Structures are given as C-alpha cells and as structure tokens.
C-alpha cells in the first residue's frame, strides 16, 4: 500500500483550521491528496493550508453562498472533488428555556444545513467521476440525548439521517457516505464545552471531565484528533469502500451498555 495512495484525489475539509479538521487535512495531504481547507477563522485556516501545501478558502458555512463558493472554487482550482469531509461545528451549552434562538439557527445552519448543501453541490462532480466519499463528523450524540445540548444533539441526529440517505442515493454511483461518531476529542471546541459545563453544573473543570464526560466511558481517556483522521483515511481507501450509511462509533465504550 503506497503512502501516497490518494495522489490525484481532491479533498475538502471544513473547519480545518484546528482540532479534528486540521488533523484530517494533514492526514489526507500526507497521503497525496490535494486538500482544500475551509474555516471561518482566517489566520488558523491559512496556517493549516500553508502547513500542508493546500488551498485555503475562507467562509462562514452558515451562509449558503459560502457553501457554493467553497465547492465551485475547489472544482475550478483542481478540476475535481473526490472527498468531502463535513467537520465544521459549534457548541453551546444551555437549557432549552433559555437557549438563544439565533444561536440555535446558526448551529443548525453550520452543522446540518451546510453538510446538505456541500454534498448537494459536490454531487454532480462526484457522480461524473463515478467515485466519491462523503464523511460527516457527527458525534456519539448522534444516537442519544444530552442535557443542555438541544441544538448540537438535534444537528448531529440530523446529520446521521442525512448520511444514511446520501449512502442510499450514492450507492450505484460510486459514492459512499459515512458518519464518524466520536466521544470526547481533545480539541479547542471540547475545551470550550468543558468550561460551559463547569459553569452550568457549578463544578471545577477537572470534575466535569471525570464525573460528566468520562464517567460513562469504559476507556477513561480523551480521543486524539489523529485517531479520527485515521478512520477518515480508512473510509477513503478501497478497503473501506463497502462501508456506507454507517455511524462509526469511536465512543470509548460509552454506548456499550
């Protein structure tokens, strides 16, 4: 198996300025793919693209125009699009009765509507190639609920449903779709989540990690972003081509019981 087995493939990774998205962009580039980095934060997004020799396309994916621009720019620059990783996300922890309506709308726009739009816009190119991989970074909360995370849980449940329909419609076209559903990954977003939970629960941050996050997990550690990137790479290989419509649970054993 060649270390550069994705040579000639073009990938888009959203939210790739840090965390999971950056690890995925680094992994795909190391395997030979031309990677387009998207992020709302220009400095970190450009730095990630520079690190891997990729193209940075700035954009707020809560806006439909930004989704269209990202796909059009990719196809125009590289002449194709083979791998779409919908990773961009937001987090807000608050009870339903006080959850800000505009925050709800923004979170669903970024984490559910944008994956739909990007998949829709990428579809003609992938269909024409007879080959495509759509990988949605969901969460273990795509299959269950959690206190104070109404928008996040709703979006991730929706993404899992979108993934299944994409898999069904893409199966005869050479397009697969899967959702990676991790538990707690060591990212800046998770650090913000810990701070929010510490505030709402009135606990020190370390107790949030031990008593809320890792308490239901059989494996008592955080997941590293590079572990998620390895699963993305597997799903893009020929060896992963029979996987489609699947929630890939990397949840530290938290849903085993």
Active site residues: 152
Q: What SS3 class is residue 16? A: coil
Residue 141 is classified by DSSP as G
Q: How many angstroms separate the CA atoms of 81 and 11, rounded?
A: 6
- Contact between residue 73 and residue 57 where contact means Cβ atoms under 8 Å apart: yes
- 86: exposed, middle or buried (Cβ count in 10 Å: 0-12, 13-18, 19+): buried
Task: Measure Cα distances from 169 to 23, 130, 136, 214, 237 in Å.
Answer: 29, 13, 16, 37, 20
Looking at the chain, which runs of residues are DSSP E strands? 10-13, 34-39, 55-58, 83-86, 132-137, 175-182, 247-250
- Distance from the Cα of residue 44 to its chain's centroid: 17
Q: What SS3 class is residue 167? A: helix
């Amino acid at each position: 198996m060649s270390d550069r087995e994705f040579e000639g493939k073009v990938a888009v990774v959203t939210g790739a300025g840090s965390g999971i998205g950056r690890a995925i962009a680094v992994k795909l580039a190391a395997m030979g793919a031309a990677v387009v980095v998207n992020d709302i934060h220009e400095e970190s997004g450009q730095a990630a693209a520079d690190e891997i020799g990729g193209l940075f396309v700035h954009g707020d994916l809560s806006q439909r125009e930004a989704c269209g621009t990202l796909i059009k720019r990719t196809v125009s620059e590289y002449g194709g699009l083979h791998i779409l990783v919908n990773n961009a996300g937001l987090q807000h922890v608050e009870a339903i009765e006080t959850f800000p309506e505009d925050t709800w709308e923004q979170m669903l726009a970024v984490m559910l509507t944008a994956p739909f739009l990007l998949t829709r816009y990428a579809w003609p190119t992938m269909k024409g190639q007879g080959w495509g991989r759509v990988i949605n970074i969901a969460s273990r909360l795509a299959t269950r609920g959690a206190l104070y995370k109404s928008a996040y849980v709703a979006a991730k449940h929706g993404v899992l449903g979108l993934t299944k329909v994409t898999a069904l419609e893409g199966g005869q076209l050479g397009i697969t779709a899967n959702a990676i559903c991790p538990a707690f990954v060591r990212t800046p977003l998770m650090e913000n989540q810990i701070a929010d939970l510490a505030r709402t629960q009135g606990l020190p941050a370390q107790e949030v990690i031990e008593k809320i996050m890792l308490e239901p997990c059989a494996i008592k550690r955080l997941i590293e972003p590079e572990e998620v990137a390895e699963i993305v790479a597997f799903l893009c290989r020929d060896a992963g081509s029979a996987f489609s419509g699947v929630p890939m649970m990397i949840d530290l054993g938290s849903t085993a019981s």
